[in-house]
Chains A and B, each alone.
Chain A
Amino acid sequence: MAIEDIRNIVKKERDSEEEIQRAKEEAERIVEEAKTEAKKIMNDVEDQRYLNALLETEMKKIEEKKKAIEKEFAEEFANLKERGGNNMEKAIAYVLKLVLGE
């Protein structure tokens, strides 16, 4: 092997080492980028928005159920008021009967 050939091989070897070093740097960059992306995922506000929306939806459902119950009782209240008014005389007559022992 001629001296020149040996020189060429050494140069090639040095070039390779530089390329590998660059590849290592590139690899580091890829990993760093992934870490940043992972952090971004962990802090994603979208998820918090989803949870807030879920909570809001559930609260709305409860409010609707509450309103339905209130409506039901309001109807019962109105019916009883009307029925009570209509039967007032009947009830007074019944009480008088009881008081007088009839």
Chain B
Amino acid sequence: MENLKSQLDFIKEVEIKEIIDEAKTKAAAEINEARAKIEQIKKKETTEILKKAQEAEQRELEATRIEGKRKVTNLKFQVIESVLSSSLARLKEMVEKEAPSYRNHLEEFIIEAAKRIDGWEFELIIGSKDAAFVKKRLKRVVDALSTVKGVVVSLKMSDEPLRSIGGVVVRSSDHKEIFNDTLEARLARVRQENLPEISQVLFGDEIQ
């Protein structure tokens, strides 16, 4: 009888242990699953955040570089503009003072302009201050131009006023062709063609 009782006790103990162990296993599985899930979510979100941060970095840094370059380029252009306007003021001063450093180039300006126009009959428009100076050298200019053109040329001085601080305008006698070699036009050509060199003189590098 006692043996049967202790057998029943043993069976009961085993069954209770099984129930509790099974519950503990289930509980551990629940918690582990939650931990694994949250780790996975965390990992995914971390990757997303890092990816977004990387994209933001590229975007932000690129924008900062562009802005920096824009400021630097603007500065270069501002300084160059200042050089060009100062140059124009100096040229005006040279013309007003009838400086030889300017006047001695007038003959070359006329020849250079006439070379670009077809034909052999030309008209010259020149400022009133320079007109007397050029008139004295007109024969020399005509001879030089005839040599360049390979034909005897005619060069008349027009009464038309020159709308410029200095330099010359040469046109064909039929007014079909014209070449503007005024100081403003020459400066405009320098601006168009020589910005990199001017930048080099100013800053030691070219405009990018």
Contacts and interface: CB of A to CB of B under 8 A. Distances in A.
Contacts of A44: 38
A33 B53 CA distance: 39
Contact of B16 (A20, A69, A100): A20
A78 to B, nearest CB: 10
A65 B57 contact: yes
Interface string B16-38: 10011011101110110111011
A interface, size bucket: 35 or more
A19 B15 CA distance: 10
B27 A77 contact: no
B interface, size bucket: 35 or more
Contacts of B197: 94
A81 B202 CA distance: 10
A17 to B, nearest CB: 9
Contact of B49 (A26, A30, A54): A54
B187 to A, nearest CB: 5
Contact of A31 (B1, B15, B30, B198): B30
A73 B72 contact: yes
Given A38-B34, A99-B187, A88 B86 contact: yes
A46 B186 CA distance: 72
A99 B188 CA distance: 9
Interface string A23-50: 1101110110111011101101001001
